[in-house]
Structures are given as C-alpha cells and as structure tokens.
A and B are shown apart, each in its own frame.
Chain A
Amino acid sequence: MISQHEILSGVIVDDDDPLTLAELCASCAITGEAVITLVEHGIVETVSGVDVAGGRRVSRNSVLRVQTALRLQRDLNVNVEGAALALDLLEEIKRLRRMAAGLEKDSAESQ
C-alpha cells in the first residue's frame, strides 16, 4: 500500500536495458509464438550483444511498440502487417507534429 506522499522513482526507457524474449512475453501477456511473429514483422527490435543464456534480447522500447500493436489489434481489428505499418506511421506523425509545432511558434512570433 503506497502512502499518498511517497514519490516513486523510475528509470528512463532506453536501449541500455534490453529484455529477454521470456520477459517480453510476461510483460505483454503474449505467447512465444506471438513474439516470433512480431520480430518477423519488425514490431519487436532485437538488439545485438552477448548475454548469459545465449538467447536473443529485445530493446525496452519494444514493450511500448507491442502494447500499442496489441491495443490496435484488440480495439480496431488490425492485423500484424497493418499494426507494423501503423506503428511506423504513428512515429513519423509524432516526429512531424513536434517539428510543425516548433515552426508554427517561430512563424507566429516573427509576425
């Protein structure tokens, strides 16, 4: 039971903290077969490097991509290929919106 005043600290998600495939399964409540499919479609990014068990590791960012893909599948009936495309497009859209917001601000202020 967390007290009202306790402040929780977290870690910024980046590529320095990869997970095993088994950890990804538990994190997103999906089967090993599902993970393989997601890797094949580029939704999950494997990272290279030596690890203890000799198995593959995936980037922490993959958890976020998989969660989004699962929501798209559950709520909008999107299949894996569509979800992979949607993820790429969503990331590009976010990047462009940030750029546009910066440009709009510059243009508004120089008038």
Chain B
Amino acid sequence: MEYKDYYKIMGVAKDASQDEIKRAYRKLARKYHPDVSKEKDTEQRFKEVGEAYEVLKDPEKRAAYDRLGASWKAGQEGFRPPPDWNAGFEFHGGDSFGQNAGAEGFSDFFESLFGGGGRGGFRRRADARGRAERGEDSHAKVLIDLEDSYHGAAKSIVLHTAALTPDGHPHVKERTLNVKIPQGIKEGQSIRLQGQGSAGWQGGSAGDLYLEVGFNPHPLYAVTGADVSLTLPVSPWEAALGARIAVPTPAGKVELSVPPQSSSGKRMRLKGRGIPGNPPGDFYVTLAIVLPASIGEREKALYESLKQASSNFNPRAKLGV
C-alpha cells in the first residue's frame, strides 16, 4: 500500500491554514470535476483531491496524519501504519463523511488510517424504506472508435460503483459489462441499458445505466455529428489535370473523380458515406495540393517551363499585390 501525500495532492504547504486548504479544495474540485474537466483521469484526480480534503479539513484527522507523516521516509515501499499511531486521538462526528469523495469510497491508505466506525452520510437515502422501490439510474462514459459506429461493435467496460460490505463499510465494487455498440451511434449520444443501474430496495427493480458515447480521436478522419471529413493530399498534376483517386473511408475504399483545375481547399461531398443512419451522414473530402519532399533538376526545369507558360496567372490578384 502506498503512502499518500495529501499536502502534495492539494498543492498546499504543510503549514497551510485551514482557510488556505478550503480555498485549494474548491479550486481543485472545480478543475477536476468529471462533468466539467477534460483532463485525463479526472475521476481519479477528483477522488484523490476529495480524500485529501476529507483529512486535511478536519483538525483532528490532520494532526493524526501529520504525526504519521513524520515517521514515513520518502521512497519507502510498502507502507504500514504503526499500531499505536493514532493513540490519543479521538475522531468525532462523521455526519459529512464520504461527501467530498463523491460517495465513491476511499483509497486503501485512507481506510487503513481512518477506517472503522463513525461513518454516516454515505448512503443517499436517510432511512430504510418499508416498500419496494426502483433503484436509481446511473451513468458512465465509454470511448469507441469511429469504425465501431460504422459497423456496430461489442465493447467491454469496467464500472466502479460504491457499495457497502455486509458489516457496513463503504468500498468500491468493480464490474465488467459487455455492451453492444449500435451501428450509427453519434458522439455525445447515450445508450440506455435497462436494469444495469443501482439495485432496487425491498425487491424493487434495478435502475438503468446510461452510457455516454465518446469517440477516440482518429488519425485520419474528423467527425461532426453524422458527417465525416478527410483532408486528401493530391499532387499538383492530379489537381491540374483531374484524376480518379482511391479515397479511404471508415467503410472501405471509394473511388473519387477529382475534376481538372481543382485548387487546394476544394470540398467534395460523398453523399450518404458518413455515419450510417436514417438519414446517413455525408463524407466530405477536402483537397490539399502537396509537393514531393525533394524536387530533382529535371522537375525544376519543367516547373520553370510551366512558370513561363503561365506568366498571365496572378494567384494574389484579389489581394491587390
């Protein structure tokens, strides 16, 4: 088990005031909240910050933690708190326990220090209900590739949910689901999986799981809604003379007729070749004229001839130069 440096996690000095700690928490909570943040691992970071604040905001826990830290050496592996490390400290209250961690459970390190009695406020419902009630819906996010939307796919996702052990301790439960990704799903849409949310009470049915779908960045394509676009490099002679060019799409290669005298930036539409659906999206190709990395002497001479033959053409005429 790893020692956690709560001061480092919160970015405050070891002698920070309680006010400074509260301010730091508020700033970091806004920064890493999973609904707001686009940073990587936001849920993990948000949990860490919440756990650090849970300890540092309470003068009793903070003092106990500080005393423990004094006997830990940096780089030491395998942390284990000495048996009497919290002797003499009493932990009061517990009504807001678990709130700052977002009801997701604390790390093993925290549990080994502060685990035990005094937990309240973990459950969202205050009293046990007498009647059967449907469980709450829950939500998660899954990342897929564009090709998964074109063809449909099956994706395995790991969910972490807060749960209580039989003797009432909160812990994080992990479960794996295999989910069918429907063909034609677009970024930002959600899939509703019935009965995969929180369990019901007193025999009530389970809630649903809402899975929000996001797309992994694609090396070739950009996606807007159901439309997919690609920048297609073409040679100067293909653009000038026209050509039939093989174009990759997520559904396979397509042949495109580039008309003669096409300029860079010309946009061509392949109707219905975007994300499948009713109606399907479109596939857009934007031409980009590119030159070879190096031009030999013969090519240079030919370009010079071309330059002489095209002396009437001023590409910057509209700029007034």
Contacts and interface: CB of A to CB of B under 8 A. Distances in A.
Interface of A: 2, 4-14, 26-29, 60, 63-64, 67-68, 71-72, 74-76, 86, 90, 94, 97-99, 101-102, 105-106, 109-110
Interface string B14-44: 0000000000000001100111101000000
A58 B133 CA distance: 21
Interface residues of B, number: 53
B223 interface: yes
Contacts of B194: 10
Interface core residue of A8, A27, A76, A110 (most chain B CB under 10 Å): A8
B193 A8 contact: yes
15 contacts: A7-B178, A9-B179, A9-B182, A9-B193, A12-B189, A26-B134, A27-B134, A64-B139, A67-B210, A71-B34, A74-B103, A75-B46, A99-B224, A110-B231, A110-B286
B177 interface: yes
B154 A67 contact: no
A13 B192 contact: yes
B212 interface: yes
A72 B38 contact: no
Contacts of A4: 176, 178
B237 to A, nearest CB: 18
Interface in B243-273: 264-265
Contacts, number: 115
Nearest to B36: A90
Nearest to B46: A75
B139 A5 contact: no
B38 A10 contact: no
Interface in B141-188: 154, 176-180, 182, 185, 187-188
Given A10-B191, A106-B231, A28 B136 contact: yes
B55 interface: no
Given A13-B210, A106-B286, A110-B288, A97 B38 contact: yes
Contacts of B35: 68, 71-72, 90
Nearest to A99: B224
A10 B177 contact: no
Contacts of B210: 13, 63-64, 67
Given A5-B178, A71-B35, A10 B229 contact: no
B264 A29 contact: no
A109 B102 contact: no
Given A71-B33, A75-B46, 12 more contacts: A8-B193, A9-B193, A10-B191, A10-B209, A26-B134, A29-B125, A64-B210, A71-B34, A74-B99, A106-B229, A109-B231, A110-B265
Contact of B139 (A6, A67, A101, A110): A67
Interface in B175-231: 176-180, 182, 185, 187-194, 196, 207-212, 217, 222-224, 229, 231
Contacts of A7: 154, 178-180
The 4 A-B residue pairs with the shortest CB-CB distance, nearest first, are A102-B222, A109-B231, A10-B191, A110-B288
Contacts of B30: 76
A44 to B, nearest CB: 14
Contacts of B177: 2, 8
B191 A101 contact: no
Contacts of A60: 192
B92 interface: no
B124 interface: yes
B211 A10 contact: yes
B238 interface: no
Contacts of A98: 187-188, 223-224
Interface string B107-134: 0000000000000000011000000011
B137 interface: yes
A98 B211 CA distance: 19
Contacts of A102: 222-224, 229
